[in-house]
Amino acid sequence: MRKTIIAGNWKMNHTGEEGAAVLQSLAARVTAKEGMEVVVAPVFPYLASAVQIAAGSSVTISAQNMHWKDTGAYTGEVSPAMLVDIGVTHVIIGHSERREYFNETDETVNLKVKAALSHKLTPIVCCGESLEQRERGEMKVWIEGQIQQAFADVAAEDMTQVVIAYEPIWAIGTGRTATHEQAQEVCAIIRHKIGTLYDPSLADGISILYGGSVKGGNIAALTQCADIDGALVGGASLQADDFMDIIDHAVIK
């Protein structure tokens, strides 16, 4: 059975004190539920302290990015080995903002996915189309291409460790949300593509999340869909009350 995963991507927000207050509240309020996982992704400088705050709770900590090499002359980068060393368990890979602003490509996404898996980190692999691509009827081909390239040369046994997040670029931080029918359509495309690359039964075990202006008011409709297993949440994860509203209303299949 695949898990319902609610992951909060804090992006470039919260100082140490601010983030600690939110995490302390979440750690105290998130209760263990069978079939559900809650993940929070703070910024790099506070990951170690976040791991300490979340220790013993039902909250796990993710990084927002990483390099694919363990060491080297890569100024400003953080390696998967370093994330594991401080107790991080997840890493977001290929977010559209990384692709748009920091030259992330399908090739580097693939390298990072393989590096994360080799270090037993859970990669939350992002994909999504622009409004222009959707309006031109290119969404399906684009999404399938991103999925195929992200998991090139990834062994089937490693795919059980993977989480995929569908984030339509036109719905990230815009207040515009894909309808649950639109989100379900794409998540079904993703699951079918994984099934063709590997095996339908393997694909059925992978958690696929939706991201894009997710709130407590729409999470239930989203997670009731057959192929949506949770959410990658941006702005609504920055305050404990807002994030708890999403966690509390998510449907566990």
Question: Active-site residue 95, yes or no?
Answer: yes
| pLDDT confidence of residue 131 | 87
208: alpha, beta or left, given left = phi > 0 and alpha = psi -120 to 50?
A: beta
**Is residue 28 included in any domain, yes or no?**
no
**Is residue 10 included in any domain, yes or no?**
no
**Is residue 163 included in any domain, yes or no?**
yes
CATH number at residue 203: 3.20.20.70
Distance CA 207, CA 3 (A): 6
Is position 235 annotated in a ligand binding site? yes
**Is residue 124 included in any domain, yes or no?**
yes
Q: Give this prediction's pTM.
A: 0.97
Question: Active-site residue 14, yes or no?
Answer: no
Catalytic residue among 95, 97, 129, 180, which?
95
**Is residue 195 included in any domain, yes or no?**
yes
Task: Give the structural domain span for 108.
Answer: 88-212
In this structure, are residues 113 and 150 in contact, taking their beta carbons and an 8 Å threshold? yes
pLDDT tens track for 103-162: 999 999 999 999 999 999 999 999 999 988 998 999 999 999 999 999 999 999 999 999
Number of domains in the chain: 1
pLDDT tens track for 36-90: 999 999 999 999 999 999 999 999 999 999 999 999 999 999 999 999 999 999 9
**Is residue 131 included in any domain, yes or no?**
yes
